Amino acid sequence: MSLQPEGCIINGMTFDSCQLYWRHLLIRSNGDIISNVDGEAVRRKYLLWPGEGEFVYESFTLLPASSISGSAEGYFKFVPGR
């Protein structure tokens, strides 16, 4: 993820930076949900600023040995940088 040159726009208001606030991820293995991450993200870190490099959010979970496929779906919520 990277911030657009115009900054972080929330409800029509522009902010100079934003940061990850919440994340929700469903991790599936062979179609079954094996992990449900739903909670506050690391705070006071990883501010996004216009013109800076890309932010990469990484997470992992172990899939069962019998797994032939896995997937992740979900969303991230951002707030103005603090």
pLDDT given at position 46: 58
In this predicted model, what pLDDT tens digit does every residue of 35-62 receive, in sequence order? Answer: 998 988 765 555 666 777 776 767 677 7
Side chain identity, residue 31? G
- Can you tell me whether residue 67 is helix, strand or coil? coil
C-alpha 61/C-alpha 70 separation (Å) is 10
C-alpha 40/C-alpha 22 separation (Å) is 4
Side chain identity, residue 13? M
- Give the mean pLDDT of the chain: 79
Torsion angles phi and psi, residue 38, rounded to 5: -150, 95
Q: How many Cα atoms within 13 Å fall on the side-chain side of residue 45?
A: 8
